[in-house]
Amino acid sequence: MAKLNLNLTSKLIALFVAVLLSQLAYSQMDCRSTLGAHLTPFHKDVPILWAIEGTMAPGIMTSPYNDTDITKLNGGMVLGALDFTFAKKHNFYVEGGYKNWKTSDTVHDASSNKSRHFGIRQVFYSYTNTNNQLKIKAGLHEAKLGSFPIVDERILGLSADKTIGAFSFNLRGGTVMKNFARMGLFCSNRHLYGIISPNYTENIGKKPGDTNLAGITINWNPQYKKPVQSQLTDDNDEFSEFNDEFSSVDSKNFAFSQVQFLFYNEFGNQKFIPEHKLYLGAFADMNLPFNFIAQIGGVYQNMSNNDAVIYIANLGRIVSWQNASSTRFDVSYIGKADISQDALYMPLFSNLFLGEIMRLDATDFPLWNVKINHRFPGKLKFNIGFKAVGQITDAKTNEQDIELGISTFKNHLKLTLIGSRVQTNLTPEDFFMARLELRLAF
């Protein structure tokens, strides 16, 4: 009991400190979080895990309209989570927190420059069977749908994943509302940047049933081999599935690693979704010579007088160096072919948000994107990354971001320095942003 009280006291103290720090900080655009990695038990005899996380990240941004004004970015967030698992297959998870933010930008009305409120990020029940071939999640939770740029959202609904031999099936269905959407009232910093169009949720409903989604992906692994009965114990065979998946792939040869098919629909109140929206897609992941990986595919959008096809090509590689460091790079192109004249690719819940500031998305296609990240060896886990995204037509918006990060105190403290530059025909001046993010989790 003394150990339990000590653990409880230390976390309450940490939470109090995080709340104080949050008055000087602001939340990430998509609420990037390390909360799940720090879940720890109340006590060895209590099957409940919990964690807290505080974020602070003051920054500055130059004006896109003149070369003299500077905007200060401040705010903060504290997140907490509870995780309860019983009978090894059933799990309940709750996550929420407190957010505030503030900007010194005098262009906006002063009353809109502050925001302090509580919110819920996730509340769900999940089930996983013994061999991990069936996973079900129900409630408010984060959901994606395969590798397609179609769903990356927080939904109130159901997610189910089923594996049968070389095939796996991903089912997603539910409703999305402004108050819990990724760019909703609680979990975003859209208020801070808001350079061009700050309302990322203008087409998302306020109540259940207004804006809904339903979709399924069918995934085929051509490299799959039926597992061979092994004499090893479970502990020794921990990575057998991973080894089986890649053992037959020669890094010097071409091979398909996964093929995916998509069927997806968005529907709801005609105020938000006035027309029928159907999406069909196919993707192929490939292993190429010299350890390159590639992905090509496309998605067909069927809407009244708004038919279009988007196509994606991505090339990447991870290089491991002798000093235990590693470098990863990815180059992507997302294009659009109009079937209907002047068609827009417009899934509501894609949430790609390419670029730290401009957050280019589906309506900005075609786009190119480059990412390079290098991780150094050592206890600090120092990494440096470079990202750039550009718009081919329209405003020809281009953004370049550089990021430096370290983790210390056994990964409880993470520091990230981010710098950005934006060039766009939408504003008369190029502008810059810099901020230091501090994330403390227990």
Quick one: residue 200, left, alpha or beta (phi over 0 = left, psi -120 to 50 = alpha)? alpha
The confidence score (pLDDT) of residue 170 equals: 97
- Angle at alpha carbon of residue 433, lines to 430 and 438, rounded to 5°: 170
pLDDT range class, residue 185, cuts 50, 70, 90: low
The confidence score (pLDDT) of residue 312 equals: 96
The confidence score (pLDDT) of residue 229 equals: 60
pLDDT range class, residue 106, cuts 50, 70, 90: very low
- Mean predicted lDDT score pLDDT of the chain: 83
Quick one: residue 247, left, alpha or beta (phi over 0 = left, psi -120 to 50 = alpha)? alpha
What average pLDDT does this structure show over 230-239?
Answer: 39
Please give the single-letter amino acid code of residue 369: N
Q: Determine contact, residues 309/300, Cβ cutoff 8 Å.
A: yes
Q: Determine contact, residues 77/22, Cβ cutoff 8 Å.
A: yes
Residue 364 CB contacts under 8 Å (≥ 6 apart), including other chains: 391, 394, 397
289-347: pLDDT as tens digits: 999 999 999 999 999 999 999 999 999 999 999 999 999 999 999 999 999 998 999 99
Q: Is 273 helix (H, G, I), strand (E, B) or coil?
A: coil
Q: Could you tell me which residue, 408 or 265, shows the higher pLDDT?
A: 265
The sign one gets for the Cα dihedral 266, 184, 364, 437 is negative
5-45: pLDDT as tens digits: 444 444 444 443 333 333 333 333 344 577 888 899 988 88
- Angle at alpha carbon of residue 307, lines to 306 and 309, rounded to 5°: 130
Q: What span, in angstroms and rounded, lies between the C-alpha atoms of 367 and 364?
A: 7
Residue entry with tokens 């907490």: 80
| Per-residue tokens: 400 | 């370049």
Q: What span, in angstroms and rounded, lies between the C-alpha atoms of 366 and 248?
A: 36
Q: Kindly tell me if the per-residue pLDDT of 189 is higher than 50.
A: yes
The confidence score (pLDDT) of residue 30 equals: 44
The fraction of the chain above a pLDDT of 90, given in percent, is 56
The confidence score (pLDDT) of residue 131 equals: 84
Q: Determine contact, residues 406/380, Cβ cutoff 8 Å.
A: yes
The confidence score (pLDDT) of residue 150 equals: 94
Residue 313 CB contacts under 8 Å (≥ 6 apart), including other chains: 294, 295, 296, 332, 333
The confidence score (pLDDT) of residue 236 equals: 37
Q: Could you tell me which residue, 270 or 202, shows the higher pLDDT?
A: 270
The confidence score (pLDDT) of residue 25 equals: 32
For 1-18, b where at least 16 C-beta lie within 10 A, e where not — what string? Answer: eeeeeebeeebeebbeeb
Beta bridge partners of 101: 75, 115
In order of their start, the domains of the chain are: 2-441 (2.40.160.100)
Measured between its terminal Cα atoms, the distance across the chain in Å is 20
Q: What span, in angstroms and rounded, lies between the C-alpha atoms of 407 and 414?
A: 4
Residue 195 CB contacts under 8 Å (≥ 6 apart), including other chains: 64, 357, 358, 422, 426, 427, 431
Q: Determine contact, residues 227/240, Cβ cutoff 8 Å.
A: yes
What average pLDDT does this structure show over 394-419?
Answer: 93
Q: Determine contact, residues 226/195, Cβ cutoff 8 Å.
A: no
What average pLDDT does this structure show over 204-220?
Answer: 96
